């Protein structure tokens, strides 16, 4: 069929994908209950945060949910002044990467602290918080 030939447009096609959240809905449920969860491989014991369904070390898909205590130490931080559109109404905020005592690194906002007090090595704790109808996690100083 050549481009110059007469043609009709078909009805628009809509593709809908079913994206499985089954494996991770537990994470969000537990967050609402005040618990931050990781997954731990039954095969080799590696701990994952954010949770994963399959182990990248031994390729096992046997994972257990484990609650993180949330205590950790800041390894890196940045202060965000130029915010994305969706955060424009919020004041500038600080983001940190902290290594938890369980060994995993967590990237999250650090609240309830002045920027001048933030240090690498600072002790922080992961807390959950309900914002609107969503549960989130963030760090606060210990
Ligand atoms: Zn494994």
Q: Tell me the CA–centroid distance for residue 21 and ligand 1, in Å.
A: 21
Q: Is 90 left (phi over 0), alpha (psi -120 to 50) or beta?
A: beta
**What does the pLDDT look like over 123-140, one tens digit per residue?**
999 999 998 888 999 999
Cβ 63 vs Cβ 41: under 8 Å:
yes
pLDDT band for 20, please (50, 70, 90 cuts). low
**What does the pLDDT look like over 23-50, one tens digit per residue?**
688 899 999 999 999 999 999 999 999 9
Taking residues 81-95, report their average pLDDT: 89
For residue 5, what are the β-bridge partners?
Answer: none
Q: Which residue has the higher pLDDT, 98 or 60?
A: 98
Q: What domains, with CATH codes, occur in the chain?
A: 21-67 (no CATH), 69-142 (2.40.50.840)
Q: Tell me the CA–centroid distance for residue 41 and ligand 1, in Å.
A: 5
Taking residues 88-92, report their average pLDDT: 88
User: Side by side, which strands form the sheet with 47-48?
Assistant: 47-48, 37-41, 63-67
Span between the terminal Cα atoms of the chain, in Å: 70
Q: Tell me the CA–centroid distance for residue 134 and ligand 1, in Å.
A: 31
pTM confidence score: 0.79
The reported pLDDT for the residue numbered 97 is 97
Q: Tell me the CA–centroid distance for residue 48 and ligand 1, in Å.
A: 10
Tokens of 38: 């990781």
Q: Tell me the CA–centroid distance for residue 86 and ligand 1, in Å.
A: 37
């Amino acid at each position: 069929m050549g481009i110059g030939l007469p043609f009709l447009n078909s009805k628009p096609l809509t593709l809908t994908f079913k994206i499985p959240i089954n494996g991770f809905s537990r994470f969000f449920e537990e967050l609402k209950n005040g618990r931050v969860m990781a997954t731990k491989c039954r095969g080799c014991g590696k701990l994952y945060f954010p949770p994963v369904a399959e182990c990248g070390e031994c390729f096992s898909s046997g994972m257990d949910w484990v609650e993180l205590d949330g205590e950790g130490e800041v390894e890196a931080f940045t202060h965000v002044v130029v915010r994305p559109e969706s955060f424009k109404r919020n004041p500038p905020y600080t983001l940190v990467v902290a290594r938890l005592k369980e060994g995993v690194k967590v990237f999250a906002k650090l609240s309830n602290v002045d920027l001048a007090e933030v240090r690498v090595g600072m002790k922080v704790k992961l807390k959950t918080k309900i914002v609107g109808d969503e549960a989130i996690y963030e760090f606060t100083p210990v």
